Structures are given as structure tokens and as C-alpha cells.
Structure 1
Amino acid sequence: MEALNNINLASLLDSFVSLFSAFVLGSAIGLERQVRQRTAGLRTNALVAVGAAVFVDLANRLHGAEGAVHVVAYVVSGIGFLGAGAIMKEGANVTGLNTAATLWGSGAVGACCGADMIGEALMATLFVLASNTLLRPVVNRINRQPVKEEFGEASYTVYTVCQRAHQSKVRERLVALLEQANYPVRDLEQHAFGHDETEIEAKLYATSIDADELDKVITVLGSLPAVTQCFWSAVTED
């Protein structure tokens, strides 16, 4: 009989408004994802929003605002695990990050609805949709532009091949030139190269460089009589 005693038409109407709002707003977010044929589409985003609204509304009715606050924290972490399942890594490529972030946004919308903050839920929905639509052409335009060397982040290494008998002097000259150019050496290694030569590998602390400046260092090093080869390379960091 406890179930019958808990029936309250005013509370039921309030819960209906919360869940209906979560359903409509979650579906609006999911519709945009479905049109773009993303993994988490219409149904997934609607379910996430409604589910979050149910939990928060339930906690709100049982324990008031304090209980709702505790449940919101668990909803956030729970949706985080759900979003992690949408993220996939294939080699150096990572996909699904935007889908996971959208699910997180749908959960926030649902939590607002469950807490009877329909206006805030509507604003959150608009911002999630704006992020997935209005910012898309901006991202596409940026991605089509080549990355300038000075703006890129990578690990840089200078390679110098010299006569083994002069490796100490060449190594000192290499470090000095790099420091003068404000590119201090993070790590220095030497390897045998052929019968009478040594390869000196200098890894830099810098994550971005001026290519012209480093080319000048290479030119000076290459002019030394004991140096047979000199070049630098960059490996983009994840």
C-alpha cells in the first residue's frame, strides 16, 4: 500500500514536466547527431537526458535539494563511463571524443530538467547544439590550414655525423651553438656510424622552433671540417 500512499498528482505532474522536457531537449541534441550519422544519435542522447532527469528528480523528491546534489555527482561520473565507451583509438587517430562530450552535455540537460530548472536546461541545449553546428565550419577552416612551424608542438632532434677522432670538439660546438640560439639540449647521445665516424644525437627541450634559426645552426655545423653530415628532424607529439 506504500505505493498508493506515494501517489501525488502534483508531484506526478512535476515529474512529467521534468521528464518530458528532458526527452524533448535530449532528442533535439540527438537529432543533430543522428543527421550526421554519429554513433550516439537520437535515441541515445534522449535516453541519457531522460535517465539523468529520472535520477535527479527521484533524489529531489526523496531527500530534497541536498539529495539531488549528491545524485548529480554520480550522474556525472556515470555518464563519463558511458562516454568512454564511445571513444575509440586506431593507431594515432582518436575518434568519438565529440560524441562522448555530447553525451555529457545531454546528461547535464537531463540533470537540469530533473532539478526543475527547465530554463537552464533549455540554455544548455542551445549551447550544446551551437557547439556541434556553429563551431563546425570554424573547425573545418582551421584544419584546412597548414600548421606553421613555430605554432606546432613536436620533439626536435639535431643529428650530426663527424669523424670519431674529433667527436668531443664537435659535440661541444653543437651544444654551444644550440644554446646560443636559445635551444638548450635535453639529452645527448652518441652512436658509432660506420668504421671511423660517430653520430651525435641532440634532443632539444623546445616543443616549437623557428626553422630558419635551426637551419642556421645546421649550416654552421656543416661547415666544420670534421663534420660529414648534419640535419634536424621533428616528430609531432600526440
Structure 2
Amino acid sequence: MNQNLFASFNIPMMLGIPLATFIILFPTLLIIPSNKLMSNRFTSLQQWLIQLTLKQLMLSHSTKGRTWSLMLLALITFIALNNLLGLTPYAFTPTTQLSMNIGMAIPLWAATVIMGFRFKTKSSLAHFLPQGTPIPLIPMLVIIETISLLIQPMALAVRLTANITAGHLLMHLLGDTALTLLSLYFSSSIITIIVIILLITLELGVALIQAYVFTLLVSLYLHDNS
């Protein structure tokens, strides 16, 4: 049992070397390359999920925006696999690290904004000042819209970090409670274990939903600027 509640979020070390890079790259080994000559149910399910995800993400995009489809597909797959692997026992979840999520959010957000200012300059600048704004409110609205634009990557990163971290903390607390009650009140520990099983089922959904939400918001930023 960990004495520190947040010990499970520490980056694993071996011989003084952080293993975060190897852990982050590990989910890519779970992806089976598509081979038309040899196919099974798992690869068919994988291809069906890819087509369904791309259809949902690229539904409202223009031809220029659809060039990002491969990148968005890789992003949602990467986040979903990291979230799911983090639910296994004694595993480290990279998406609980705010630094990693900011490292994903800022380049993607910056790319969509730069793309918008390059190809849709007038439309991008128009977002800073809505039509029909009274003259005395113009400076204040420009400042507010600028701040709202700059905090978008932070909102992306914090949303993903907070949701994944909260679920892990809750499972950790309930697990410690079940172990304590097991030696005191057996019937109460059974109820706690049932709650943990239900919570794990919920966390499986949260892991996939948060990956989809993160990618969908990036896709919406792209749609606004492409």
C-alpha cells in the first residue's frame, strides 16, 4: 500500500533514468498493421473503428481540413491507449502528467491558429471583435477574446489531466478502504469491491471519452481556422 496518495503518479525510474519515454511509446506496439492478405476479427474491428472515428471527426471539415485526418486519428489512438493501459495494475499513466498534456495541446493549438491567420486572416481577426460592438467596449472585448484564445491549450491539457487523475485517485482511495474493511467487516468490504468494479467500468468509458473530447476540440479549432 502506498503511504503517499500521489505516489502512483510519479514517473518510474530505473538506474536514475526516467522510463516515461518507453512507457509512452509502448501503446504503439498494440496497434496491428493493416494487411489485406491476412485479416481476422480484431483487424476488422480495428479498421471499422478507424473509419467510424474519421467519419465523426471529419464530418464538417473542408478538403483542406481533412488533410489532418491522419494526425487526428493518431492523436485519439495514442491518448486512448495510454488512458486504457493506465487502468491496469501497477501501471503508470502518462496522461496524468500536466506537462505531457500541455506538450500535446500547445503545438496542435498553435498549428491551427497559425493556419487560420495564414489562410483566413480576416475571419480570424474578426473573432476578436464581434460585429455591432459598441465603441467603448472594443478594447475590453479584444482583451477578453485574446485571453480566451490563449487559454485554449491550457483548458485542453487541464481537462484531460483532471479527469484521468480524479478517477485514479478515487480508485486508489476505494482500494485502500476495501483492504482495511476486509480484516474488519467482511460484508462491507464486499460492497466496496463491487463499487470499485463499477468504478473501473466507468473509468474505461472515461478513458475513451476523454481521448475523443481532446481530439474533437482540436478538430473544432481546426474547423474554425481552416
Fold similarity call, TM over 0.5: no
Q: Which has the larger radius of gyration?
A: 1
Higher RCO, Cα 8 Å, sep 6+: 2
TM-score normalized with structure 1 length: 0.28
Q: Which has the higher helix share?
A: 2
TM-score normalized by the length of structure 2: 0.29
